[in-house]
Amino acid sequence: MDKGNARVGSDPVLSIRGLNKFRGKVQVLHGVDLDLYAGERVALLGHNGAGKSTMIKAVLGLIKAEGGEISICGSKPGSAKARAATAFLPEAVSFHPAVTGREQLTLFARLAGVKADIVGLLERVGLGEALDRRIGTYSKGMRQRLGLAQVLLGKPKLALLDEPTSGLDPISRQDLYAIIDELAAQGTAVLIASHALTEVEARTDRIAIMRKGVLVANDSLQGLSAQAGLPTRVRIRASEDAAAIAARTGGRRINGASVEIEIQAADKMATLREIAAMGDAVADLEITPPRLEDLYRHYAKEGLQ
């Protein structure tokens, strides 16, 4: 199921095999398998409580898993080598309110053992003006950006971002994804746990979907569409007689002048040729492939019927 694509031969930065985790008697992760390769941006989607944060914490070595294996650049989670290779942005990141942004980032740089351009990093995330103010005076979005700045410390091999856009305004979200692209370009494997489907749709290379602790999907958007077999929607605007077009194509009329048909990926070209053959009867045509939202609904709810 896992698609290494063009990276066959190179070792994954993060490799998870058969990960199990229990909370009391409830199993919260069921045999999760996931690989992340250098420079790859992977979205991890799922409802609240699907196990996304639990999986991230297991990768960080913050919690012990009951079964399976995790390897970060060949090291065990929680080992000094694995921690040095990993950057983490927790969900709703928080810091002590009495220290300033500059002091907090300096502490993290010393803990990571890296010499970093603290001021440059804070300016990069838009906190240049606030670097000597106490974190207690920061807004939620500013704290989130400070959290992002610490991800950029050193050059992590693996970045785990848990809901990185929460609390950010639309412009800051754009900046965030620009920074994620930069990370990936320098060879960092980036895992983004998110609810914001429309954002990750365009900004990631691969999408993994978790449902109740099970990884139910793990492929590129195109791959997922093909597997799910969700229909592509074609909307035809008729020049004159919408009813005739509806009758010929087997679609349904959605208003006076338009007809909508749902076709499987395999039938797409045949249907399009058919429509083209109708000539002037068709005024306009709009094709909508399945969106991530449809795919997400398909994978995350499959089996619940």
Partner 1 sequence: MTRFLAIAQCEMRILRRNRWLFMATLIMVLFALALTFAGSAPTGSLGVDMLTVSVASMTTLSVYLAPLLALMISFDAVAGEAERGSLGLLLSYPAGRGEVLLGKFAAHLAALSIAMVVGFGSAGAVAAWFGGAGSESLLALARLIATSVLLGAVFLTLGYLVSALSKSSTAAAGMSAGLWLIFVVLYDLGLLGAVVMDSGGWFTQTLFPWLMVANPADAFRVWNIAGSEGVALSSGMVGAARALPAWAAPLSLLIWPFLGFVAARGAFRRVEP
Applying CB under 8 A, which residues contact partner 1?
57, 60, 62-64, 80, 83-84, 86, 88-90, 92-96, 98-99, 103, 107-108, 110-113, 134, 147, 150
> Contact 84/33 with Cβ under 8 angstroms?
no
Specify the residue, 113 or 303, whose C-beta has the smaller distance to partner 1.
Answer: 113
Minimum Å gap between C-beta 201 and partner 1 is 28
Closest CA to 281 of 247, 251, 236: 236
Two tokens, residue 200: 């990750």
Q: Measure CA 142 to chain center.
A: 22
Specify the residue, 105 or 263, whose C-beta has the smaller distance to partner 1.
Answer: 105
Minimum Å gap between C-beta 119 and partner 1 is 18
Minimum Å gap between C-beta 191 and partner 1 is 13
Minimum Å gap between C-beta 182 and partner 1 is 21
For 21: left if phi > 0, alpha if psi spans -120 to 50, otherwise beta; the answer is: beta
* 3-state SS assignment for residue 11: coil
Specify the residue, 96 or 252, whose C-beta has the smaller distance to partner 1.
Answer: 96
Indicate the residue type of 241.
Answer: D
Q: Which residues pair with 260 in a beta bridge?
A: 235, 252
Specify the residue, 84 or 272, whose C-beta has the smaller distance to partner 1.
Answer: 84
Minimum Å gap between C-beta 304 and partner 1 is 29
Specify the residue, 5 or 94, whose C-beta has the smaller distance to partner 1.
Answer: 94
| CA–CA gap between residue 20 and residue 305 (Å, rounded) | 25
